């Protein structure tokens, strides 16, 4: 059994940064857990605490039924793959993979079996005699994975292992890592700030923000029912549209909202949940002035602002930010309205998300 349990884990760095403010988490035996969140939210800190590379200020970390707070990294039976998986440049691929086992005094025939097995799984057998500089980025990444696999640890820890690779290779390696983990069934914790990676890899997804957990759940459950506006705008690309709603309506006479809103609220609609010119019985209908179009092939993103009945527009944007009131609509295919055109979009009632003004999820009424 090699589950990982965190009980009210906290980390304050010397100097007073509260990097982790109390996290509870259970990763079941053989599960793939992904920690996702923006830069500085504490992902690496949490992972390094599980690895034993950072001390734990408060709380308990338990690996396979044993509290490891006071246990040295080398004795925790974990293997870590980092973003900068520095391979030893003067050693062959074989020796890079064998190195850790030799240090532990593993018998030579056993080392040979493990290295060759891992090489076969990773399809790098023909590369075993090469030096790292004779490998592509993706091949080096495989060797780094190989080093972790030969250890046969209870737990794999990954810290953004793909972020040095180009976009295409990232996707390919993402699929490889998932297949590998399914095959080895080793409990894994994987850190990324890429929501696509998080969605596709995770059995359980942990969305972090400011040293705390915003939401834990299965990726699709989180996508369908984000607990907070933070999660709503972090998971999903383009992000969920968020509109302020007053108790007496949307504030724009051209728009209609046919749900009851208990006081001031924030209304969320995913870009793909809008339809063009549809009527939305018991839902939301907006009039938009189209101000930008992005065609990415299989789909098209329409950016629009909500015109006022008097002809003025409701928004002013800060540079680099989606202006308040700007709406993104995701349409299938390449067809799109023209820039400057006024369009009507609507979303069905069961597609609407309602949040409190503080950003917590509420049931739409």
Per partner kind, with CB cut-offs from 5 to 8 A, the member of Mg ion, ligand ATP, none near residue 217 is none
Q: What is the 3-state secondary structure (H, E, C) of the chain?
A: CCCEEEEEEEEECCCCCEEEEEEEEEECCCCEEEEECCCCCCHHHHHHHHHCCCCCCEEEEEECCEECCCCCHHHCCEEEECCCCCCCCCCCHHHHHHHHHHHCCCCHHHHHHHHHHHHHHHCCHHHCCCCHHHCCHHHHHHHHHHHHHHCCCCEEEEECCCCCCCHHHHHHHHHHHHHHHHHHCCEEEEEECCHHHHHHHCCEEEEEECCEEEEEECHHHHHHCCCEHHHHHHCCCCCCEEEEEECCECCCCCCEECCCCCCCEEEEECHHHCEECCCCCCCEEEEEEEEEEEECCCEEEEEEECECCCCCECCCCCCCCCCCCCEEEEEECCCCCCCCCEEEEEECHHHCEEECCCCEEECCC
Contact residues: Mg ion, CB under 5 A = 44
- Minimum CB–partner distance for residue 48 and ligand ATP (Å): 8
- Minimum CB–partner distance for residue 189 and Mg ion (Å): 13
Residue number, 192 or 346, with CB nearest to ligand ATP: 192
- Minimum CB–partner distance for residue 360 and ligand ATP (Å): 23
Residue number, 159 or 273, with CB nearest to Mg ion: 159
Contact residues: ligand ATP, CB under 6 A = 13, 15, 17, 19, 37, 39-45, 193
- Which residue number has the CB closest to Mg ion? 44
Per partner kind, with CB cut-offs from 5 to 8 A, the member of ligand ATP, Mg ion, none near residue 76 is none
Per partner kind, with CB cut-offs from 5 to 8 A, the member of ligand ATP, Mg ion, none near residue 101 is none
- Minimum CB–partner distance for residue 256 and ligand ATP (Å): 41
Per partner kind, with CB cut-offs from 5 to 8 A, the member of Mg ion, ligand ATP, none near residue 19 is ligand ATP
Residue number, 191 or 202, with CB nearest to Mg ion: 191
Residue number, 40 or 307, with CB nearest to ligand ATP: 40
- Minimum CB–partner distance for residue 67 and Mg ion (Å): 25
Residue number, 23 or 243, with CB nearest to ligand ATP: 23
Per partner kind, with CB cut-offs from 5 to 8 A, the member of Mg ion, ligand ATP, none near residue 15 is ligand ATP
Residue number, 44 or 361, with CB nearest to Mg ion: 44
């Amino acid at each position: 059994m090699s589950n990982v349990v965190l009980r009210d884990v906290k980390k304050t760095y010397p100097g007073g940064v509260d990097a982790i403010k109390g996290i509870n988490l259970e990763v079941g035996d053989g599960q793939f857990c992904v920690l996702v969140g923006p830069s500085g939210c504490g992902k690496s800190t949490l992972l390094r605490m599980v690895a034993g590379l950072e001390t734990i200020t408060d709380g308990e970390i338990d690996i396979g039924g044993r509290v490891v707070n006071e246990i040295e990294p080398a004795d925790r039976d974990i293997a870590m793959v980092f973003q900068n998986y520095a391979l030893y440049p003067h050693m062959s691929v074989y020796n890079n993979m064998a190195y850790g086992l030799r240090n532990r005094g593993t018998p030579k025939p056993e080392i040979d079996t493990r290295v060759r097995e891992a090489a076969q799984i990773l399809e790098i057998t023909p590369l075993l005699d090469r030096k790292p500089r004779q490998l592509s980025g993706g091949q080096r990444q495989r060797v780094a994975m190989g080093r972790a696999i030969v250890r046969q640890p209870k737990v794999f820890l990954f810290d953004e292992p793909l972020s040095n690779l180009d976009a295409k290779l990232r996707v390919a390696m993402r699929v490889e890592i998932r297949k590998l983990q399914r095959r080895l069934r080793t409990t894994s914790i994987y850190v990324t700030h890429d929501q696509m990676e998080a969605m596709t890899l995770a059995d359980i997804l942990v969305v972090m923000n400011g040293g705390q957990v915003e939401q834990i759940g299965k990726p699709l459950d989180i996508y369908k029912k984000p607990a907070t506006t933070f999660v709503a705008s972090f998971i999903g690309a383009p992000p969920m549209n968020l509109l302020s709603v007053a108790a007496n309506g949307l504030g724009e006479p051209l728009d209609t909202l046919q749900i009851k809103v208990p006081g001031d609220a924030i209304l969320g609609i995913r870009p793909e949940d809008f339809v063009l010119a549809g009527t939305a019985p018991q839902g939301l209908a907006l009039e938009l002035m189209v101000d930008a179009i992005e065609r990415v092939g299989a789909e098209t993103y329409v950016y629009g602002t909500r015109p006022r009945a008097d002809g003025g527009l409701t928004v002013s944007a800060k540079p680099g930010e989606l202006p308040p009131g700007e709406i993104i609509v995701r349409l299938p295919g390449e067809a799109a309205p023209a820039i400057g055109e006024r369009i009507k979009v609507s979303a069905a009632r069961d597609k609407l998300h309602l949040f409190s003004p503080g950003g917590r999820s509420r049931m739409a009424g």
